[in-house]
């Protein structure tokens, strides 16, 4: 099987390349596939000999999106729609990675895949538009919503905590936002599995959730990072109101993963094991 992947240098794109195995990847970087130019990206799909498409590229600067929504919309909404329409014309399944930010973060129960959406900010709105555009394209697709993606690549919470924990004796971390940290390696496996399953059985198309478990606060996530890395830094819990940001964060990012397990045979990954692998990659594992 051959997959056309949009997004080469991000956390997910890099893990897709590491974990592809026997799958051949045609990976396009930001220079070949400018996500501000939907027609250019659609033309890549039209000219591809791939069996399916994975959209791993996205505008993920949550706070910056508040003042730059048109660009975020082009990258997260308009271009994925153009890709999906070109893929539908070719009969190619599409896997789109989406986010917990499409929900309003209310309550304490995990969000079901068919729960009402209600983004709190620009980033969530643009990702929700991408979901709608892919569905409306009329082709076979899987939308994989995820949360709190981390890896040994790029900038993410794990690497930030390692840096700050080495510099300071005490950190104040938000404790009233709860979600599932998701190792990019596990998300990559889910994308590859979903793409293969859609090729073999298009009836498995739909919207799914892929997040690590168990659900945890950012503060407790930080504590586990410090425990596994042997970092002696105290974590003090604070409410979100003590750490204001331009974009509101959903207090409840819990996502129900059961339909993903049923459709693809993928158990919910344990982020603590994934964290160990990330720290080993970084040479920071001490537990």
For residue 47, the domain's CATH number is 3.40.50.720
Q: What is the pLDDT of residue 193?
A: 97
Query: Mind listing the pLDDT tens digit of every residue in the chain (287 residues)?
Result: 999 999 988 999 999 999 998 899 999 877 677 899 999 999 999 999 999 999 999 999 999 999 999 999 999 999 999 999 999 999 999 999 999 999 999 999 999 999 999 999 999 999 999 999 999 999 999 999 999 999 999 999 999 999 999 999 999 999 999 999 999 999 999 999 999 999 999 999 999 999 999 999 999 999 999 999 999 999 999 999 999 999 999 999 999 999 999 999 999 999 999 999 999 999 998 97
89 located within any domain: yes
Which residue matches tokens 């992947």?
Answer: 5
Q: How many domains are contained in the chain?
A: 1
The alpha-helical segments, DSSP class H, found in 78-154 are 79-90, 122-136
26: how many CB neighbours lie within 10 A of its CB? 14
234 located within any domain: no
Which sequence positions are flagged as catalytic?
123
* 266, two tokens: 């993928």
At CA 33, angle to CA 29 and CA 36, rounded to 5?
125
Which residue matches tokens 């498409």?
Answer: 53
Q: Which segments within 29-153 are labelled E, that is strand?
A: 52-55, 94-99, 141-146, 149-150
φ/ψ of residue 78, rounded to 5: -65, -50
Task: Judge whether 102 and 121 are in contact, CB under 8 Å.
Answer: no
Task: Judge whether 242 and 219 are in contact, CB under 8 Å.
Answer: no
Q: How far is CA 68 from CA 205, 239, 286, in A?
A: 32, 27, 41
247 located within any domain: no
53 located within any domain: yes
280: how many CB neighbours lie within 10 A of its CB? 12
Using a 10 angstrom Cβ sphere, with 0-12 exposed, 13-18 middle and 19 or more buried, the burial of residue 161 is buried
Q: What is the pLDDT of residue 12?
A: 96
CA dihedral defined by 192, 204, 269, 3, rounded to 10 degrees? 10
Chain Cα centroid distance, residue 278: 16
Q: What is the pLDDT of residue 31?
A: 64
At CA 77, angle to CA 41 and CA 142, rounded to 5?
85
Q: What is the pLDDT of residue 287?
A: 79
Q: Is the pTM of this model over 0.85?
A: yes
Question: CA-to-CA distance for 252 and 255, rounded, in angstroms?
Answer: 9
30 located within any domain: yes
140 located within any domain: yes
79 located within any domain: yes
Q: What is the pLDDT of residue 185?
A: 98
Q: Which range marks the domain in which residue 20 is found?
A: 2-156+181-214+253-269
228 located within any domain: no
């Amino acid at each position: 099987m051959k997959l056309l992947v949009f997004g080469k240098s991000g956390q997910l794109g890099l893990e897709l390349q590491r974990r592809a195995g026997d799958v051949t990847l045609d990976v396009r970087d930001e220079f070949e596939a400018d996500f501000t130019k939907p027609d250019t990206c659609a033309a890549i799909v039209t000219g591809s000999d791939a069996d399916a498409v994975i959209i791993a590229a996205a505008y993920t600067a949550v706070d910056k999106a508040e003042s730059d929504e048109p660009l975020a919309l082009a990258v997260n909404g308009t271009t994925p729609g153009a890709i999906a329409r070109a893929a539908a014309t070719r009969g190619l399944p599409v896997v789109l990675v989406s986010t917990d930010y499409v929900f309003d973060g209310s309550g304490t129960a995990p969000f079901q895949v068919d729960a009402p959406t209600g983004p709190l900010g620009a980033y969530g709105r643009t990702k929700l538009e991408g979901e709608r555009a892919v569905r409306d394209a009329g082709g076979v697709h899987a939308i994989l919503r995820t949360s709190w993606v981390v890896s040994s690549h790029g900038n993410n919470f794990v690497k930030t905590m390692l840096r700050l924990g080495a510099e300071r004796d005490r950190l104040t971390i938000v404790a009233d936002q709860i979600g599932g940290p998701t190792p990019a390696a596990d998300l990559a496996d889910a994308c590859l599995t979903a793409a293969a399953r859609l090729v073999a059985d298009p009836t498995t198309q739909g919207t799914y959730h892929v997040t690590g478990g168990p659900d945890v606060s950012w503060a407790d996530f930080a504590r586990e990072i410090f425990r596994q890395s042997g970092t002696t830094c105290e974590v003090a819990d604070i409410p979100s109101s003590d750490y204001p940001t331009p974009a509101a964060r959903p207090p409840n990012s819990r996502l129900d993963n059961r339909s993903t397990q049923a459709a693809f045979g993928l158990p919910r990954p344990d982020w603590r094991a994934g964290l160990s692998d990330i720290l080993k990659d970084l040479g920071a594992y001490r537990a």
